[in-house]
Amino acid sequence: MIVEASITGLFRTVLIILGAFVLLRFLGQLMMAKRNMEEERKINERQRTFDKERSQKLRNFGKVNILARNKRKTGISDQAEDVDYEEID
């Protein structure tokens, strides 16, 4: 079987190759846009968390919290442990 090259066949092949390049480029840009949107979402989430923690700390700035512990549950005794210190000359 002998295949002859023709102008229309060559033109059609070039168009198919160009179409594939355009399609791949479009898909690449689409995937980059999706990745950038995901990255921006993560950055915004971190910023919201940071702002929330900052406002909470500013609201509680200067306040003192006294935490009462149940001695039976934690095992804390009433007597403090004595520590002996030696003087060094």
CB 23 within 8 A of CB 16: no
Entry pTM: 0.50
Amino acid at 65: N
Sign of CA dihedral 34, 37, 38, 39: positive
Task: Write the CA distances from 44 to 10, 34, 38, 73, 82, integer angstroms.
Answer: 51, 15, 10, 42, 52
Q: If we measure between CA atoms, which residue out of 68, 69, 49 comes closest to residue 57? A: 49
Domains of the chain, residue spans? 32-61
* Per-residue pLDDT tens listing for the chain (89 residues): 677 878 999 999 999 999 999 999 999 999 999 999 999 999 999 999 999 999 999 988 888 877 766 555 555 555 666 677 777 76
